Structure 1
């Protein structure tokens, strides 16, 4: 199950309110001007009423559009609220996540990597936050999806601290050229849902935080 978010409703509402306020002020000013001109018109040269009616009709059309946008803003706000309530429903659920950043927790990291067709050699490299390769494995070169388990130690047996690490799958063909189409997925439990920098973030049991579109499925 995946859920798409709806954003921007706050901005839409603000824009609509501003436009409505400005439109009301413009109409009031226009009506005052029209009344003043009617009072002071030359009786021998009356104004063209058709022109005034046309302008009033234009104002009326714009006002209706602004009101429609206001109603649309209300709908978007309600949909956003519904989406946020759905997001909260992920808490405590096991999710499948796609992403190269995977969490090492209590000396355990478990993930899956996929290999596309055409690969003849595959190297799986674990990279720390500084961009340093801390552990490498020979991966399976046959097309398919394979499990990866890491105990948090380097090839020299040094135990590394828990945290987020990036898994880089380097698939090559017979000519040594990189083969596109590799991916990394893993399972984790959602422990918290929060808003950060304008987007919904899902904090996971392995210590990693992901965006909504990184979640492939939920159980």
Structure 2
């Protein structure tokens, strides 16, 4: 079962600490104020506007801390709503735009799109350490083309399951780089939070971020 924490615990702790500190400081101030009023020189009383000013300052700080507490609660509710929406992707097939692709069971299925004017298209598959796993020359005609690979590396071994980088390099006759895009579809199997990011684990072995998903079915 996948769970995602929807409340920023650190934010809540900070807000609670600020409220506790404010309460302590206010009580200390009121005790000091009472003592000063009790022991002030009747012939030279303290200007009451000073007390009013200080009380106003404490009131302003108290209101600010209260506002911060409310904002923390609102952000927590928004985070919970966002997490619930992300959980709804589990079991759905999503379309991903990312050069981080998954290889599972020795299989890679993806597509690339290249603009018109390409004289060469070279495709390289790199592991997480940047090592070359597989490479080939691809179709240079404008449009979207499928990429399939059986996972067999140059040494005859099968590529391990996991996330790889699919680098598509398209160039024109002058050697200038052209725009290209890698897309693929896979089913979401798990959603997890890593610090402030939501990550989607896919059936094909890849792990992508929320903003890599462009559609879902």
Name the TM tier (shorter chain): 0.7 to 0.9
1:8: Cα distance to partner?
8.1
Number of the residue aligned with 1:71:
70
- CA shift at 1:198, angstroms? 4.3
Aligned to 2:36: 37
8 A contact 2:116–2:141 mirrored in 1: yes
Report how many aligned residue pairs link the two structures: 211
Q: 1:60 to 1:117 in 2, by over 3 A?
A: farther
Q: Deviations over 1:105-133 (max 9, x none)?
A: 22321101121344321111222344333
Determine the structure 2 residue equivalent to 1:3: none
Q: Which residue of 2 aligns with 1:124?
A: 123
Residue aligning to 1:102: 101
Identify the range of structure 1 (143-152 vs 58-67) with the bigger mean alpha-carbon deviation: 143-152
Check conservation: 2:152, 2:159, Cα contact below 8 A.
no
Tell me whether 194-203 or 96-105 shows the greater mean CA deviation: 194-203
Structure 2 length-normalised TM:
0.87
State the shift of 1:83 in Å. Answer: 1.2
Q: Kindly tell me: are residues 128 and 37 of structure 1, through their superposed partners in 2, closer, same or farther at Cα, counting changes over 3 Å?
A: closer
1:208 corresponds in structure 2 to 206
CA distance in 1, matches of 2:192, 2:169: 34
- Does the C-alpha gap of structure 1 residues 130 and 44 become closer, same or farther in structure 2, counting only changes over 3 Å? closer
Structure 2 spans left out of the alignment, 5+ residues: 1-5
**C-alpha RMSD of the superposition:** 2.1
Q: After superposition, where does 1:60-209 map in structure 2 within 5 Å? A: 60-154=59-153, 158-163=156-161, 164-179=163-178, 181-209=179-207
- Take 1:12 and 1:128, find their aligned partners in 2: how far apart are those partners? 37
- Whether the aligned pair in 2 keeps the contact of 1:10 and 1:77 (CA below 8 Å) is no
2:51 matched residue in structure 1? 52
Q: TM-score, normalised by structure 1?
A: 0.87
